[in-house]
A and B are shown apart, each in its own frame.
Chain A
């Protein structure tokens, strides 16, 4: 009898060893493995039942309770139940006899207790220590003893005493020891798989097709391993590269994939260099090197970035910058020259053009004084025209000078009260022309960052124009207001407008309006030199602003202007 029990236990140990050979059984989770597990435990149970210790005919005792309990604890519940069914079918149909009912009960009980312990372990942190396993063994086998009460004809009376000592000593012990064996195996298998997984992970990183990686020997620079990206980049097959040294791909003295130094340097500090490819082409690279352990030896691990296009782009940018700087210098010189010429021109205009004018005016005045009384009306008129035109030319020269000054003088920004300024200008216009009836409305509180003197010129010109060109209009109305742009790219920008209901003009001539000395009306209709609006546009553009106009003949004109970036309602 003890020989048979030992046989049984040996069988169980065999299955444990089998587990060691097929490590996937406990590690891999798939339907295939679940079925395989179930079969394995089921078949082991069958084997166990095939070498039984026979109490009397039809009543056999064997290690199936241990196998079933192990299946419950160490394989997943589905496998365990499957094994249980296999074992039960075998017990009932292959062996049969009066022990069938307690036999099946024992199988079911063992599986159930095993699953219970497994679930306590998985879900409640019950540690599978030796005492716990021993207790589990006892529980399984106490259940087995109790199952014997199901034997017909009170056979338990004979059976229980005969099996009790073995079943309650050797069996639980066998279960506990085998369990330990399983546990140990399980641990090793898990470690083995984790190691394999982590290796595979790192290998897949190394096998990366985009990042060039090279492993080399410290000191000699002998290449130990390269990845496919390196093969692709350098253009040599891996086998060839393993015969090469770093010096074969490095172009200059400067450290590329540095051989000895990498160890002393901060790990993976980048260095710049140039590498030669199999094609002979030389590429700019940035190399990150650091020490690693490679198959138990110290090695240098290097990641190589091809920076050729970046370096070339940087070089191009540098060249472009130099060219640009050179151009800027040249243009500055040209501009300074032009500016100087302009200044000289303005100076000469103010001096040299005025002198002959003064002579013309002076002598014609003298002529008129001396002989004016004796002149015919027509001759008198001639003299008057000379005087008038001299004065006119004087005004033109003044305007021209003002225009050139506006173009060259620096802009001094400050917060200007445009509403107040416009009010003063209108007051002056009323004073100069007290008989004029005009309704003027100026929106209150308009301000802007601008050059006070220059914006004064803008407002006096625009308001002056509105005043002038409504002279012949009944119910003349002049309006000065401001509205911020409420959508688009220029949202928030203040747009000022000065509108009148005067004689207006045909929009076909609008482009002429802002050019110096261009006029849309005759001198007799409306006096002026035609410099005003060009001056206005020049000033606004120097502020970074714009001016545009909407008009129609006899329907007035509306001038819109902006004062550039500093004048946005919501300067975030």
Chain B
């Protein structure tokens, strides 16, 4: 049985800090990125959503994200663990993950790439720079980048 699936368009933002969440949403808006942004506030919730488990077991497949913006320091399950689980699951294996975090520790960058992150961006403190970063990553990952068609 084969079903035609709608093209993915949602952005999954995994972010526990409400200020950062708000600023990110503002930045998306400022950059005229109109894609739906789904926000998960800890690692466990994010994994449930991505792998359709627990509270998200029945979610609509159309909400499968086109891009995941992942913070590393998260309550319950860390961003790196979320990444590992995603890459182990065939549904989320190729979903682009951009690590968007405050840290610029070398080991975080290395670990992220080792676990299959597609990009690592350090959130700049200056809001104008943050705006610019979000604009560019939206442009690149949502418009330019191609991903394999979902199964």
Number of interface residues of B (CB under 8 A): 19
B contact residues around A17 at 8 Å (CB): none
The 3 A-B residue pairs with the shortest CB-CB distance, nearest first, are A359-B19, A365-B127, A394-B125
B contact residues around A366 at 8 Å (CB): 26, 127
B contact residues around A390 at 8 Å (CB): 125-126
Q: Is the CB of A362 within 8 A of B19?
A: yes
Q: Is the CB of B73 within 8 A of A362?
A: no
Contacts A355-B20, A358-B20 given; does A347 touch B105 at CB 8 Å: yes
B contact residues around A346 at 8 Å (CB): 105
Within 8 A of B (CB), among A340-387: 346-347, 350-352, 354-359, 361-363, 365-366
Q: Which single residue of chain B is at the shortest CB-CB distance from A393?
A: B125
A361 and B27 CA atoms in complex are apart in Å by 14
Q: Nearest chain A CB to B101's CB is how many angstroms away?
A: 7
Q: 1/0 contact trace for B111-141 toward A, CB 8 Å?
A: 0000000000001111110100000000000
Q: Beyond A350-B102, A359-B17: 20 further Cβ-contacts under 8 Å? A: A346-B105, A350-B105, A351-B102, A351-B103, A352-B73, A354-B125, A355-B20, A355-B102, A357-B125, A358-B19, A358-B20, A358-B23, A358-B102, A363-B19, A365-B126, A365-B127, A366-B26, A390-B126, A394-B125, A401-B105
A contact residues around B104 at 8 Å (CB): 350, 401
Q: Nearest chain B CB to A388's CB is how many angstroms away?
A: 11
Q: Nearest chain A CB to B106's CB is how many angstroms away?
A: 8
B-to-A contact residues, CB < 8 Å = 17, 19-20, 23, 26, 72-73, 101-105, 123-128, 130
Q: Does residue A521 face the partner (Cβ distance < 8 Å to B)?
A: no
A-to-B contact residues, CB < 8 Å = 346-347, 350-352, 354-359, 361-363, 365-366, 390-391, 394, 401
Q: Is the CB of A391 within 8 A of B103?
A: no
A554 and B116 CA atoms in complex are apart in Å by 56
A contact residues around B20 at 8 Å (CB): 355, 358-359
Q: Nearest chain A CB to B61's CB is how many angstroms away?
A: 33
A contact residues around B126 at 8 Å (CB): 361, 365, 390-391, 394
Q: Which single residue of chain B is at the shortest CB-CB distance from A354?
A: B102
A401 and B128 CA atoms in complex are apart in Å by 24
Q: Nearest chain A CB to B15's CB is how many angstroms away?
A: 10
B contact residues around A351 at 8 Å (CB): 72-73, 101-103
Q: Nearest chain B CB to A165's CB is how many angstroms away?
A: 128
A contact residues around B125 at 8 Å (CB): 354, 357-358, 361, 390-391, 394
Can you name 5 A-B residue pairings with CB atoms under 8 Å? A350-B105, A354-B123, A358-B130, A362-B127, A390-B126
A350 and B105 CA atoms in complex are apart in Å by 8
A351 and B104 CA atoms in complex are apart in Å by 9
A29 and B72 CA atoms in complex are apart in Å by 106
Q: Nearest chain B CB to A110's CB is how many angstroms away?
A: 114
Q: Nearest chain A CB to B141's CB is how many angstroms away?
A: 21
Q: Is the CB of A359 within 8 A of B105?
A: no
Q: Which single residue of chain A is at the shortest CB-CB distance from B19?
A: A359
Q: Which single residue of chain A is at the shortest CB-CB distance from B73?
A: A351
A433 and B85 CA atoms in complex are apart in Å by 50
Q: Nearest chain A CB to B131's CB is how many angstroms away?
A: 9
B contact residues around A356 at 8 Å (CB): 19
B contact residues around A401 at 8 Å (CB): 104-105
Q: Is the CB of A355 within 8 A of B19?
A: yes
A contact residues around B124 at 8 Å (CB): 358
Q: Is the CB of A362 within 8 A of B23?
A: yes
B contact residues around A394 at 8 Å (CB): 125-126
Q: Nearest chain A CB to B69's CB is how many angstroms away?
A: 15
A361 and B19 CA atoms in complex are apart in Å by 11
A363 and B23 CA atoms in complex are apart in Å by 8
Q: Is the CB of B17 within 8 A of A355?
A: yes
A346 and B19 CA atoms in complex are apart in Å by 22
A contact residues around B128 at 8 Å (CB): 365
A365 and B125 CA atoms in complex are apart in Å by 11
Q: Nearest chain B CB to A554's CB is how many angstroms away?
A: 37
A524 and B17 CA atoms in complex are apart in Å by 35
Q: Which single residue of chain A is at the shortest CB-CB distance from B101?
A: A351
Q: Nearest chain A CB to B75's CB is how many angstroms away?
A: 13
Contacts A351-B73, A355-B19 given; does A361 touch B127 at CB 8 Å: yes
Q: Which single residue of chain B is at the shortest CB-CB distance from A353?
A: B102
B contact residues around A357 at 8 Å (CB): 125
Q: Which single residue of chain B is at the shortest CB-CB distance from A395?
A: B125
Please indicate which of the listed interface residues B23, B127, B128, B130 has the most CB atoms of chain A within 10 Å of its own CB. B127
A340 and B101 CA atoms in complex are apart in Å by 22
B contact residues around A361 at 8 Å (CB): 125-127
Q: Which single residue of chain B is at the shortest CB-CB distance from A394?
A: B125
Please indicate which of the listed interface residues A347, A350, A351, A362 has the most CB atoms of chain B within 10 Å of its own CB. A362
Q: Is the CB of A358 within 8 A of B26?
A: no
Q: Which single residue of chain A is at the shortest CB-CB distance from B106?
A: A405
A62 and B125 CA atoms in complex are apart in Å by 139
A contact residues around B102 at 8 Å (CB): 350-351, 354-355, 358
A contact residues around B127 at 8 Å (CB): 358, 361-362, 365-366
A358 and B19 CA atoms in complex are apart in Å by 9
A358 and B124 CA atoms in complex are apart in Å by 8
